Amino acid sequence: MDQFLAARTEFSRARLSRWLKHGHILVNDRSRPASYRVRSGDRVSLTVPPAEPSSLAPEALPLDILYEDQDLILVNKPPGLVVHPAPGHRGGTLLNALLHHCPELAAMGDLSRPGLVHRLDRDTSGVLVAAKTAQAQAHLVRQFQDRTVEKIYLALVWGRFDRRAGKIEQEVGRHPTARQKMSVHPRRGKPAVTCWRVLREYPGPLTLLELSPKTGRTHQLRVHLAALGHPIVGDATYGGGAARLKGNPSLKNLRPWVQRQLLHARTLTIRHPRTGSPLTGEARLPEDFAAILEYLQQLEEKF
């Protein structure tokens, strides 16, 4: 039922599932679960409940805005900023900043994450899009679900590659024992595809990659690269932590600079929900990542 209605309305499956649960959607005048299979002749009625204002607090935090109009906003998220409130991070998030900049988000009816259609890890920087209307949100959610969104990341990883480009196709799911991590050997995983291309090689050895994920699994790029034997520099969770630098004479001076995984969402291309035209946001590298690449370039010139 939720799939049936999502394909015929501007509302997301998550919102429709909530409305089904609370009796706002009836099939032949009866409540049905989201799993109900629609049959020929069914009469489906939907009563849109009044929007409840979000209880999230707007906060006047700085935003690096790449593009904005009446339907959506593209921002460059800095490293270290959590995208939305969660246990341990009740405030000071990107969503709190968006609610201050775009007060209309509070009336969208999504109490937990109004306007958000995807996320980046706290320590990953780069382009993120948020919707400013329910219609735009539903349209963007569908693009992510249909995998028509084009994403390009930059990552500095450990090691050298024997090819200039390739593709990783391994399922990603919750780690079977470490529940805060993801794994390519889960009990139950989902298909995940990442394309990669070598941009530059540095002493260390380290390699700068361009990554194009074709799916959007949690920690997908970090897990795939670790499984390939090339974890992202600074990613202690998946084997690429800064501790590896101290044993490398040419890289030990980098250790104070590497405080996170060096992963950056450089570009994001969507179809505009109103016009259907392609729209690309491009985010410059944050200062820490750019400084590290500059240091590595200087180091390379010495050899």
Q: Specify the pLDDT at position 283.
A: 98
Is 121 tagged catalytic? yes
Query: Are 106 and 213 in the same domain?
Result: no
| Domain endpoint, select from 144, 179, 212 | 144
CATH of the domain at 133: 3.30.2350.10
Q: Specify the pLDDT at position 190.
A: 92
**Cα of 87 vs its chain's centroid, Å:** 19
Find residue 182's DSSP bridge partners: 174
CA distance 47 to 260: 46
Q: What's the DSSP call for residue 32?
A: -
Tens digits of residue pLDDT in 86-96: 777 778 999 99
Q: Specify the pLDDT at position 52.
A: 59
Q: Is residue 101 part of a domain?
A: yes
Contact 71, 274 (CB under 8 A): yes
Query: Are 202 and 253 in the same domain?
Result: yes
Name the stretches of the chain with pLDDT < 70: 10, 51-55, 109-111, 303
- Domain housing 96: 65-144
Q: Among 121, 123, 235, 288, which one carries the catalytic annotation? A: 121
Q: Specify the pLDDT at position 55.
A: 65
Q: Specify the pLDDT at position 109.
A: 60
CA-based end-to-end distance of the chain: 63
Query: Are 94 and 235 in the same domain?
Result: no
Tens digits of residue pLDDT in 257-267: 999 999 999 99
Q: Specify the pLDDT at position 11.
A: 75
Q: Is residue 280 part of a domain?
A: no
Q: Which of 84, 44, 8, 80 is nearest to 234 (CA)?
A: 80
Tokens of 163: 């090819």
